[in-house]
Amino acid sequence: MAVQNKTYTLVKCRAVADIEKISENINITIDDNGRIKSIGSEIEGDEIDCRNYVVIPGLINAHTHSAMIALRGYYDDAELQEWLRKMWEFERSMSKDLMRISSEIAIIEMLSSGTTGFVDMYFNPEQLKELSNIYKIRVQAGYTFLDNLYDPYLIDKLQRELKPEGYFQPIINVHSIYATSKETLELANQLSKELGERIHIHVSETRREIYEVKKKTGMFPVEYLNSLNMLDRMQLVHLGWVASWEIDLIREKNAIVTNCPTSAMKLATAGFFPFKEMLNSGITVTLGTDGPASNNSLDMFREMKNAILLYRHSYWSTSVKAIDAFRSATYEGYKLLKVKGGKIREGYVADLVLLDAKRLYPLFKDRLISHIVYTATGDMVKAVIVNGNMRTKDEILERLPKLIERLHRLLNA
Amino acid sequence: MAVQNKTYTLVKCRAVADIEKISENINITIDDNGRIKSIGSEIEGDEIDCRNYVVIPGLINAHTHSAMIALRGYYDDAELQEWLRKMWEFERSMSKDLMRISSEIAIIEMLSSGTTGFVDMYFNPEQLKELSNIYKIRVQAGYTFLDNLYDPYLIDKLQRELKPEGYFQPIINVHSIYATSKETLELANQLSKELGERIHIHVSETRREIYEVKKKTGMFPVEYLNSLNMLDRMQLVHLGWVASWEIDLIREKNAIVTNCPTSAMKLATAGFFPFKEMLNSGITVTLGTDGPASNNSLDMFREMKNAILLYRHSYWSTSVKAIDAFRSATYEGYKLLKVKGGKIREGYVADLVLLDAKRLYPLFKDRLISHIVYTATGDMVKAVIVNGNMRTKDEILERLPKLIERLHRLLNA
């Protein structure tokens, strides 16, 4: 049922759910520009029978390292600093071929599990640009400032040559404060101003990071970034150890934040992202799986659940609800991408996920968001639409077996 | 490929993994009594091509409430006491039909996601006895002492009439110390001694429970149960707030414990099961999903991962490894059921799960346990064998659509 570049209608969707509304037995017409044209009883163009599907907006994975598929399961049982040393050791000699095949596999995994866009931090953005347009999945990626692996002036030069194209938008990646010098941060900041690109960085992930940044600069990490006049163009990932006054700074400067609950728990960082406080401040709160070597799943359904679980456990409170995680994964993700999406409304991009209605039960309207967050996994996805381009799960998975064979050959070589 | 009551061989399994060993490209012969006859190069009886499967022992869900499928998504965003009130309100008028259909659906979900046996606390053990033998899945269940719903003398009478049969074994369920009187606990204890049946109970789930038991009895919950001379025949579920001297008592009395990490987090109980301390003490540590209204998934793969995540987050330590969760879900579960299983060895029961090898990558021997725990979900299960009876996922799911239709009719009535 692959559909592309023409008008068609999802007919009699069992349910259509976004953060604002749940409708039942309703049609969605998608126009030839990949936008939602109408929601209601209209039918136009090809008809796709959706009586067995629950339709939700596409999920945005706001933070991952797709090429680390090669490193999935490589070193799982260690804390962050030791884990990073192991990763960097491997990455120093990672071939371009291995990066590409890994990112391609990750894209197939993400798309097939309902992820319609993602933000990537790694060293292969040109490959991701090509792959994003082959697979028609929204990607933001860039070269990564990481002083012990790459000369920052080389990164600066490469990033200037990286241009947007189709489904791909460049962003500037900075690994972290602890893995870059002040000069590198200033270089990245200058570049961000010149190119108008957002800076995507790991911040306040461990207590050790807080201690070291404080010792070196006299400031907490977010305060430090603010002192460098960067905060207004930043996407801050992790924030497990952020302080309340830093949350105020984030709000003032309109920085965007990303919660990666599974990775935080798996790496025993002990921090907990202040989800509710961030929401209450009106900050744009997005959700990410982190990479396949630190999660190790790229399934955003599992991540929505874990965002709730980590918060509730850490705060002794059920004040964060299923809808909050659903909002982070959909509407807030599209804000990060600067794409009018994440709601199923006329004029929004047709980035949609068709879930198997038979697997979400008891299927009552008022239980649907709960099922999506607490019960569903990406395996319940039957088809995915990005910018109007519809693919079934089988179509998405078609190339996977060959890619895995090649991955194994490259890793054994 | 349904196979039953005859000798057959799983040929060229891509990998075979249990807690002790991982082998590749190897055969498993299963005899007509449902036992593993050999592991190696022998072939006997029908041949099943397993080149695309990774074979692991069946998973045991050590604590659930299967009939609560009807309540999945019914009331998700509340803390334990409020949540329980809502559940009991509904359960007071729950029909036998609704319990049965719910348990049947839960069994299909569990079996299809690799669970070969489970321990159930609810009010429909006779139904579970019948279902366990229809579906050929190992079940331990019993009537539940819960004073505000049922007269304990009625429960005592009913439990005496409940007999083992085929895949079913009776156990005595006691909801909790806080939901039963001392007299009820003593009645349950007497019954346990007479019938030789284990007592399965929720203990030390919240801080409030600790406070109230301490206030009422002067003792901590596990101490209190020990003072009633019950501990040596108990399965203690939750233990998020257990004290170190209680762990010593548990070890002395050889009680079995069950970790339900997802439910603990979702209900914001704030406690954390001392997984590593329990392991180090040599206590039998099992794993459970808890019910579909408090998790809400019955997928033991997701539960293995969450056991690691909760521990690592709470203890700031990665000392609990993937293999520990895998052991709890397999070998330790079979100890609870008193069945010689949970390892893939000659003479052990043929309770096996065939996972799709194509979805576990990079597929290297030394990464396999990591993939099973951190990446896999029950959706990667392709076939399940219990006591030699093999069923494909499609065969297991066959009746599900009709059952869901009936569930919806019953809930709307």
Structure confidence by residue, pLDDT tens digits, B96-145: 999 999 999 999 999 999 999 999 999 999 999 999 999 999 999 999 99
Of the candidates B267, B296, B312, the beta carbon closest to that of A268 is on B312
Q: Is residue B47 situated within a structural domain?
A: yes
CA distance B87 to chain A (A): 15
Cα→Cα distances B135→A136, B34, B80, B331, Å? 43, 15, 32, 22
Of the candidates A262, A312, A407, the beta carbon closest to that of B265 is on A312
Checking if the pLDDT of B3 tops 70, the result is: no
Give percent above pLDDT 70 in chain A. Answer: 99
Q: Which of A81, A273, A295, A312 is the best substitution to test chain B (most B C-beta atoms within 10 A)?
A: A312
Q: From CA A202, how far away is CA A182, in angstroms rounded? A: 15
Q: Which ranges of B113-206 would DSSP assign to H, the alpha helix?
A: 125-135, 152-161, 182-195
CATH value at residue A105: 3.20.20.140
Q: From CA B68, how far away is CA B90, in angstroms rounded? A: 10
Asked if residue B387 and residue B286 are part of one domain, the reply reads no
Asked if residue B228 and residue B179 are part of one domain, the reply reads yes
Of the candidates A70, A306, A318, the beta carbon closest to that of B79 is on A318
ipTM of the complex: 0.97
What is the pLDDT averaged over residues A353-379?
A: 97
Structure confidence at residue A78 (pLDDT) = 80
Question: Which residue reads 């002067």 in tokens?
Answer: B218
Half-sphere CA count of B63, side-chain side, radius 13 A: 33
Asked if residue A304 and residue A161 are part of one domain, the reply reads yes
CA distance A267 to chain B (A): 7
Condensed to tens digits (0 to 9), the pLDDT of residues A299-343 reads 999 999 999 999 999 999 999 999 999 999 999 999 999 999 999
Concatenate the DSSP letters of all residues of A289-332 into one string.
---TTTS----HHHHHHHHHHHHHHHHT---S-HHHHHHHHTHH
Checking if the pLDDT of A411 tops 60, the result is: yes
Q: From CA B261, how far away is CA B315, in angstroms rounded? A: 14
Q: Is residue B3 situated within a structural domain?
A: no
CA distance B5 to chain A (A): 32
Q: Is residue B210 situated within a structural domain?
A: yes
CA A319 to chain centre: 24
**Hey, are the CB atoms on B76 and A370 less than 8 Å from each other?**
yes
A90, A302, A121: which is closest to A200 by C-alpha?
A121
**Hey, are the CB atoms on B295 and A374 less than 8 Å from each other?**
yes
Mean pLDDT, chain A, whole residue set: 96
Q: Is residue A408 situated within a structural domain?
A: no
Condensed to tens digits (0 to 9), the pLDDT of residues B295-310 reads 999 999 999 999 999 9
Condensed to tens digits (0 to 9), the pLDDT of residues A131-143 reads 999 999 999 999 9
Structure confidence at residue A141 (pLDDT) = 98
Q: From CA A286, how far away is CA A329, in angstroms rounded? A: 6
- Give the list of residues 6+ apart from residue A342 with CB closer than 8 angstroms, or none: A18, A19, A57, A58, A60, A330, A331, A332, A333, A334, A335, A348, A351
User: Chain A residue with minimal CA distance to B409?
Assistant: A362
**Hey, are the CB atoms on B310 and A313 less than 8 Å from each other?**
yes
Q: Which ranges of B24-151 would DSSP assign to H, the alpha helix?
A: 80-91, 96-112, 125-135
Q: Within 10 Å of residue B400's Cβ, how many Cβ atoms? A: 17
What is the interface size between A and B, counted as CB pairs within 8 Å? 161
**Hey, are the CB atoms on A404 and B297 less than 8 Å from each other?**
no
Asked if residue B80 and residue B24 are part of one domain, the reply reads no
Asked if residue A355 and residue A376 are part of one domain, the reply reads yes
> Which residues of A fall within a CB distance of 8 Å from B276?
none
What is the pLDDT averaged over residues A222-251?
A: 98
CA distance B308 to chain A (A): 7
Helix axes B182-195, B152-161, angle to 10 degrees: 10
Full domain range(s) for residue A360:
8-58+342-397
Give percent above pLDDT 70 in chain B. Answer: 99
Asked if residue B228 and residue B331 are part of one domain, the reply reads yes
What is the pLDDT averaged over residues B370-387?
A: 98
Of the candidates A69, A299, A309, the beta carbon closest to that of B265 is on A309
**Hey, are the CB atoms on B268 and A105 less than 8 Å from each other?**
no
Cα→Cα distances B66→A290, A368, B105, B123, B380, Å? 33, 20, 8, 10, 22
Q: What angle do CA B23, B34, B366 make, to 5 degrees?
A: 15
Q: Is residue A379 situated within a structural domain?
A: yes
> Which residues of A fall within a CB distance of 8 Å from B401?
358
Condensed to tens digits (0 to 9), the pLDDT of residues B175-228 reads 999 999 999 999 999 999 999 999 999 999 999 999 999 999 999 999 999 999
CATH value at residue B27: 2.30.40.10
Asked if residue B374 and residue B298 are part of one domain, the reply reads no
**Is the distance from CB of A28 to CB of A349 less than 8 angstroms?**
no
CA distance B370 to chain A (A): 6
A173, A199, A58: which is closest to A118 by C-alpha?
A58
**Hey, are the CB atoms on B358 and A315 less than 8 Å from each other?**
no
CA distance B229 to chain A (A): 33
Asked if residue B370 and residue B354 are part of one domain, the reply reads yes
> Which residues of B fall within a CB distance of 8 Å from A367?
72-74
Q: Is residue A262 situated within a structural domain?
A: yes
Last residue of a domain, one of A321, A337, A353: A337
Of the candidates B316, B361, B375, the beta carbon closest to that of A407 is on B361
Checking if the pLDDT of B50 tops 80, the result is: yes
In this structure, what token pair is assigned to residue A3?
């559909």
Checking if the pLDDT of B2 tops 60, the result is: no
**Hey, are the CB atoms on A76 and B364 less than 8 Å from each other?**
no
Asked if residue B295 and residue B217 are part of one domain, the reply reads yes
Structure confidence at residue B97 (pLDDT) = 97
Structure confidence at residue A4 (pLDDT) = 63
Asked if residue A175 and residue A26 are part of one domain, the reply reads no
- Give the list of residues 6+ apart from residue B360 with CB closer than 8 angstroms, or none: B54, B368, B371, B372, B375, B376, B380
Asked if residue A137 and residue A178 are part of one domain, the reply reads yes
Checking if the pLDDT of B392 tops 80, the result is: yes
**Hey, are the CB atoms on B411 and A362 less than 8 Å from each other?**
yes
Structure confidence at residue B78 (pLDDT) = 80
Q: Is residue B64 situated within a structural domain?
A: yes
Structure confidence at residue A80 (pLDDT) = 85
- DSSP H or E segment with residue A346: none
Mean pLDDT, chain B, whole residue set: 96
Q: From CA A304, how far away is CA A115, in angstroms rounded? A: 12
Q: Is residue A1 situated within a structural domain?
A: no
**Is the distance from CB of B264 to CB of B295 less than 8 angstroms?**
no
Give me the number of domains chain A comprises: 2
**Hey, are the CB atoms on B309 and A364 less than 8 Å from each other?**
no
Asked if residue B235 and residue B377 are part of one domain, the reply reads no
Which pTM was predicted?
Answer: 0.97
Q: From CA A307, how far away is CA A310, in angstroms rounded? A: 6
